[in-house]
Structure 1
């Protein structure tokens, strides 16, 4: 198949450090290329890929967002996709609803994976206008606010099986990995670790938009004796950071559509203690690969019995459910079904 993958431009593909969507796009693209598909990637010009790269910006727009309009680059890139549509059998967008007006102008099949939350006020009005657009969810929980969309499938994220290695013996700390943001609740993670008597290591990105929150609510917590801030970490550093942790704390306060860091932890054999919001219950098997909790008290209790969780079982769950091979399989089947549908819908030529 001739497949176009259209990535957001905020981070390069794959990101240097923090970044979810662009990292998943990188794994999907390379997996499709490995299977012999002809793949074109629309992404930032500093991306690294096995596919044919079409640059939508010179660099990740996060690097220039204070001096340029990020959406201008995205709209120009999406128009370029339309212009080149004859080169593809199917276009797979990862740019959420921004792609919809452009997708309607394509003369080939298209699909959009929705990567963000769908419970934001106003989204229902917008999606009603584009209810015909074929979309994929990244968890069943993500669909809940808009169950009437044209859902084609749910595809959980997957990462390369050899990207992160299994760590049989943990270290003496708990980990928090992600962004310093109110919805991620690093303050909860710090409190859970304090009450449980564990050191905590925090590897997290601080966006410009979250800078005030960090300075007002979190900075002073980083001065506590049990807290170590490690900055942002990339894939090369995650092996040890996650693999040596006793547990990953995932104390979110919002309906997270997936939570890539949870499967990264499982790949290392590290169990997860997650607040039961969004897709957490689709990823963490309670009592098998970690614990689902509803309060700080429950999280502290869970951490006290974390050694009852088999680290080998965590790695096995990852290999069974969350590999890139499984993700690519699912998407290829979706592409093939959509192309069959498009072929069946073609009118017969007059004889």
Structure 2
């Protein structure tokens, strides 16, 4: 099958960029299975084994999509209403109130309910980028954009200090708390800020943590860090917002709402077996599973099924 993916940001990403990393993982899985892959993305995109076609505007992207593509998978820069090729569009963010293209795919059931969309394909993470480890060190890990208040860095600081847990914060510097909240409270010997990390440093942080702390206050469409943590054998303690309950059943973590519920939730999370965490993530949220689900969707669409009706 010739698959064309369309995205409005350059690939691959250096450190952060959930959508960009997901696309790169999908491409890797497609290539392993022998599919031909083209990518329409801004100038500078370079991926091995892939036909990279530069396009720096939405209009340009629509003009350079290869005629030979069997399916066009938009990750941004959606198709016009009269687009006459087989296609799907994955919504990666939140677009409440927007008129979405007919063939829209959401990335969790919560996300789909929020946007009144029928079709769901969960994101997938490449497990090869993470290390499984069943012996943990004595620290919690917060790994989200610190400057985004809804990600919960301020609350994580409060919980860590109140209950005496050494915590490592990744996803920005202490100064990002000026916007995210909690700057003054962050000056404590048990709290360490390591900035934005990736690669081996990131894998080590996940694999050694005793739990991932994810106290979000918004409807997270998916949450790649949850899967990254579980692939590392690290359980999750989180608030039950957005897709979190779908990704974190009791076998691999625990949920809490109030600060007072946190100690019990952490105790339950830390009782989870690291291998159970890894196996759950591998079975449901690996890049291979995600690619397989998209390929099934492509085939159904190409076979004439009214998937989005």
Q: Structure 2 length normalisation: TM-score?
A: 0.91
1:255 aligns with 2:251: no
Count of residues in Structure 1 that have an aligned counterpart in Structure 2: 303
After superposition, the C-alpha distances for 1:105-148 in whole angstroms (9 at most, x for unaligned) are 433111001111244xx32xx33xx4xx211111000012332x
Q: 1:49 to 1:205 in 2, by over 3 A?
A: farther
Q: Distance in 2 between matches of 1:203 and 1:157?
A: 22
Matched, 1:139 2:87: no
- Residue 310 of structure 1 corresponds to which residue in structure 2? 273
State the partner residue of 2:292: 329
SS of the aligned residue for 1:136 comes to strand
Q: Which residue of 1 aligns with 2:58?
A: 75
Task: Indicate yes or no: 2:202 matched with 1:238.
Answer: yes
Aligned to 2:47: 48
- Quick one: which of 156, 160, 164 aligns to 2:122? 156
Secondary structure, counterpart of 2:265 in structure 1: helix
- Stretch deviating more after TM superposition (233-242 or 247-256): 233-242
Partner of 1:13: 11
Task: Assess if the C-alpha contact under 8 Å between 2:239 and 2:257 holds in 1.
Answer: yes
Going from structure 1 to structure 2, the CA distance change for 1:6 and 1:224 (only over 3 Å counts) comes to: same
Larger deviation, residues 301-310 vs 254-263: 301-310
Alpha-carbon deviation of 1:326?
0.9
Quick check: which has more Rg, 1 or 2? 1
> Which residue is 2:160 aligned to?
193
- Following TM superposition, the consecutive aligned residue runs of length 4 or more in structure 1 with deviations greater than 6 angstroms are none
Indicate if the aligned counterparts of 1:114 and 1:135 stay in contact, CA closer than 8 A.
Answer: yes
Q: Note the C-alpha offset of 1:260.
A: 0.3
CA–CA separation in structure 1 for the residues paired with 2:188 and 2:48: 41
Structure 2 stretches of 5 or more lacking a match? none
Superposed displacement of residue 290, structure 1: 0.5
Q: How far off its partner does 1:306 sit? A: 3.7
Residue 340 (1) aligns with residue 303 (2): yes
SS at match of 1:112: strand
**Does the C-alpha gap of structure 1 residues 82 and 270 become closer, same or farther in structure 2, counting only changes over 3 Å?**
same
RMSD value, Cα: 2.2
Q: Is the 8 A contact 2:6 2:61 kept in 1?
A: no
Residues 177-326 of structure 1 aligned to structure 2 (within 5 Å) = 177-180=143-146, 181-205=148-172, 213-214=179-180, 217-286=181-250, 288-326=251-289
Whether contact under 8 Å (1:164, 1:264) holds in the other structure is: yes
> What is aligned with 1:99?
78
C-alpha deviation, 1:205, in angstroms: 3.9
- Within 1, Cα distance between the matches of 2:165 and 2:187? 15
Q: Is the 8 A contact 1:118 1:142 kept in 2?
A: no
Residue 219 (structure 1) shift: 3.2
